[in-house]
């Protein structure tokens, strides 16, 4: 039997709830599939851990995670721990420590769900946003001086390296090439940001020469928001910087129906380190602890993780079960229903069990 070692980190808020739900669904999937086993170890790292230990994860946290095949992650963020501690202490520490430079965010209107866009025929919104995940605006370079004084100064530098841009560009071109439309939109802001963004444009042109079969469109990030809303069918794969893609992918998730359904993969495409899979939503403290979180994003995330592990048929089977449930319900409140996390989880488990019998 093929066995994959998985590290599960719920983190904070609804992250803990949706990862627990995802693990239930993965248990059912292993029973239904019969061809593989997930050996899951759960870690209680996050803001509660921080309150007890003064750190978001132990000092040897990365060394502990190193030998896992993949990391199944929930969300971090809480009301009383500053974001820069919770985010940088856990999620970004893992992404950067394991050089997970490609952040992949599919957005698609699942069966039975509606886009808030008035004119969005079925199939029109089927995108994958590739976010540069290791440098750019989130490289943490900068500082503050003269704190509290009128002349206080803060500098936040965006860092773009040829290596970093080249590798994310190649990843995005490869992904575009693997999809039927072979279409890539390169997003920058090179009209206003004259250095890093102009280098992005240049490298996109250079790398594009190796992919003559991929159609490339160049778009400024502000114009891209308009295109996403008005011409969703004109988009296939998108590549953008850490900040730009962060914003665009939240918009994409909302346009696809709800932030509660969207998944993301933080990949080390060279597979030197474990990759990390998480729903794109945060810890959502307004609904945490109430059993109301939509677990679909965490389930889709699990399907992406299985795909990465080479369990392609199980990944497809899970996706089919998810789509069966989005099509006929139950649905959580963010999708206009009144179901609870547990109801949706049970329905996906039933769909998987039913699929095993058929
Ligand atoms: P972050 O700042 O880390 O992005 P957040 O906790 O501020 O996270 P998001 O997760 O981005 O918020 O979500 C915004 C709102 O969308 C939440 O407050 C919640 O109401 C809703 N939401 C997010 N995820 C879900 C979900 N899985 N199910 C239902 N509602 C959700």
The yes-or-no answer on residue 189 being catalytic is yes
**Which sequence spans correspond to the domains of the chain?**
1-101+260-358, 115-256
CA atoms of 158 and 240, how far apart (whole Å): 14
Which pLDDT value is given to residue 1? Answer: 84
The candidate with the shortest Cα–Cα distance to 72, out of 264, 329, 242, is 264
Ligand 1 test: best mutation among 14, 249, 282, 297, most atoms within 8 Å of CB?
282
Ligand 1 centre to CA of 26 (Å) is 23
Residue 189 in contact with residue 223, Cβ under 8 Å? no
Cβ–ligand 1 distance for 19 under 6 Å, the answer: no
Using CB atoms within 10 Å of the CB of residue 329, give its burial: 0 to 12 exposed, 13 to 18 middle, 19+ buried: middle
Cβ–ligand 1 distance for 47 under 6 Å, the answer: no
Q: Could you tell me the CA-to-CA distances from 189 to 160, 168, 228, 239 in Å, in that order?
A: 13, 17, 16, 13
> Matching CATH topology for 1-101+260-358 and 115-256?
yes
Task: Say if residue 52's pLDDT is above 50.
Answer: yes
Mean pLDDT of the region 231-258: 95
CA atoms of 127 and 245, how far apart (whole Å): 12
Which pLDDT value is given to residue 120? Answer: 85
What fold is seen in the domain 115-256?
Isopropylmalate Dehydrogenase (3.40.718)
Ligand 1 centre to CA of 282 (Å) is 5
Cβ–ligand 1 distance for 246 under 6 Å, the answer: no
Percent of the chain with pLDDT over 70: 99
Task: For the chain, give the mean pLDDT.
Answer: 95
- Of 222, 290, 316, 338, the catalytic one is 222
Task: Report the nearest atom of ligand 1 relative to the CA of 297.
Answer: 27
Ligand 1 centre to CA of 259 (Å) is 7
The yes-or-no answer on residue 222 being catalytic is yes
Question: Confidence band (pLDDT; 50, 70, 90) for 358?
Answer: very low
CA atoms of 147 and 151, how far apart (whole Å): 8
Cβ–ligand 1 distance for 15 under 6 Å, the answer: no
Hey, whose CA ends up nearest to atom 8 of ligand 1? Answer: 282
The yes-or-no answer on residue 343 being catalytic is no
- Of 101, 126, 189, 273, the catalytic one is 189
Task: Report the nearest atom of ligand 1 relative to the CA of 298.
Answer: 27
pLDDT in tens, 1-17: 899 999 999 999 999 99
Element (H, E) at 104: strand 102-108
Task: Say if residue 305's pLDDT is above 80.
Answer: yes
pLDDT in tens, 88-119: 899 999 999 999 999 999 999 999 998 999 88
CA atoms of 277 and 313, how far apart (whole Å): 18
Architecture of domain 1-101+260-358: 3-Layer(aba) Sandwich (3.40)
Question: Confidence band (pLDDT; 50, 70, 90) for 354?
Answer: confident
Cβ–ligand 1 distance for 263 under 6 Å, the answer: no
Query: How many CB atoms lie under 10 A from the CB of residue 243?
Result: 16
Residue 145 in contact with residue 169, Cβ under 8 Å? no
The yes-or-no answer on residue 49 being catalytic is no
Q: How many CA atoms lie within 13 A of 231 on its CB side?
A: 8
For strand 215-220 and strand 183-188, is the pairing parallel, antiparallel, or unpaired? parallel
Cβ–ligand 1 distance for 196 under 6 Å, the answer: no
Cβ–ligand 1 distance for 294 under 6 Å, the answer: yes
CA atoms of 271 and 23, how far apart (whole Å): 23
pLDDT in tens, 205-232: 999 999 999 999 999 999 999 999 999 9
Which pLDDT value is given to residue 84? Answer: 86
Question: Confidence band (pLDDT; 50, 70, 90) for 234?
Answer: very high
The candidate with the shortest Cα–Cα distance to 88, out of 55, 51, 42, is 55
Mean pLDDT of the region 284-307: 97
Mean pLDDT of the region 44-54: 96
Residue 353 in contact with residue 345, Cβ under 8 Å? no
pLDDT in tens, 69-88: 999 999 999 999 998 899 88
Residue 160 in contact with residue 200, Cβ under 8 Å? yes
pLDDT in tens, 174-213: 999 999 999 999 999 999 899 999 999 999 999 999 999 9
The candidate with the shortest Cα–Cα distance to 121, out of 28, 231, 18, is 231
DSSP result, 60-95? THHHHHTT-SEEEEEE---SSS-HHHHIIIIIHHHH
Which pLDDT value is given to residue 356? Answer: 55
Task: Say if residue 47's pLDDT is above 80.
Answer: yes
Task: Say if residue 131's pLDDT is above 90.
Answer: yes
Mean pLDDT of the region 285-310: 97
CA geometry: angle at 76 spanning 167 and 238, to 5°? 30
The yes-or-no answer on residue 342 being catalytic is no
Which pLDDT value is given to residue 226? Answer: 97
Mean pLDDT of the region 230-258: 95
Q: Point out the least confidently predicted range of 37-51, 219-233, 245-259, 262-276.
A: 245-259
CA atoms of 223 and 152, how far apart (whole Å): 34
Let me know how many helices (H) and strands (E) the chain has, helices first.
Answer: 12, 12
Which pLDDT value is given to residue 121? Answer: 81
- Name the CA radius of gyration of the chain, rounded: 20
């Amino acid at each position: 039997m093929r066995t994959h070692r998985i590290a599960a980190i719920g983190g904070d808020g609804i992250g803990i709830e949706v990862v627990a739900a995802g693990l239930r669904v993965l248990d059912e999937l292993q029973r239904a599939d019969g061809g593989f086993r997930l050996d899951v170890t759960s870690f209680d790292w996050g803001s509660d851990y921080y309150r007890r230990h003064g750190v978001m994860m132990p000092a040897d946290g990365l060394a502990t995670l190193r030998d896992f095949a993949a990391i199944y992650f929930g969300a971090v963020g809480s009301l009383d721990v500053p974001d820069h501690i919770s985010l940088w202490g856990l999620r970004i520490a893992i992404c950067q420590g394991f050089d997970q430079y490609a952040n992949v965010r599919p957005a698609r209107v699942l069966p039975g769900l509606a886009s808030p866009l008035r004119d969005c025929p079925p199939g029109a919104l089927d995108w994958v946003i590739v976010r540069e995940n290791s440098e750019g605006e989130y490289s943490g370079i900068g500082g503050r001086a003269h704190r509290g004084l009128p002349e206080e100064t803060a500098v936040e530098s965006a860092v773009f390296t040829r290596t970093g841009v080249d590798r994310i560009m190649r990843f995005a071109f490869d992904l575009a090439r693997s999809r039927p439309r072979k279409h890539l939109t390169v997003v920058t802001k090179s009209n206003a940001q004259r250095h890093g963004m102009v280098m992005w444009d240049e490298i996109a042109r250079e790398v594009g020469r190796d992919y003559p079969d991929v159609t490339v469109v160049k778009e400024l990030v502000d114009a891209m928001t308009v295109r996403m809303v008005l011409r969703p069918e004109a988009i296939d794969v998108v590549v953008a910087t850490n900040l730009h893609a962060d914003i665009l992918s939240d918009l994409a998730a909302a346009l696809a129906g709800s932030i509660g359904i969207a998944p993301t993969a933080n990949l080390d495409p060279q597979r030197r380190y474990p990759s990390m899979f998480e729903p794109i939503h945060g810890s959502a403290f307004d609904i945490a602890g109430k059993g109301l979180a939509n677990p679909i994003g965490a389930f889709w995330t699990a399907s992406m993780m299985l795909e990465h592990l080479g369990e392609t048929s199980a990944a497809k089977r899970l996706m089919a079960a998810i789509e069966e449930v989005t099509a006929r319900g139950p649905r959580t409140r963010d999708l206009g229903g009144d179901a609870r996390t547990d109801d949706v989880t049970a329905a996906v488990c039933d769909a998987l069990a039913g699929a095993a019998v058929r």
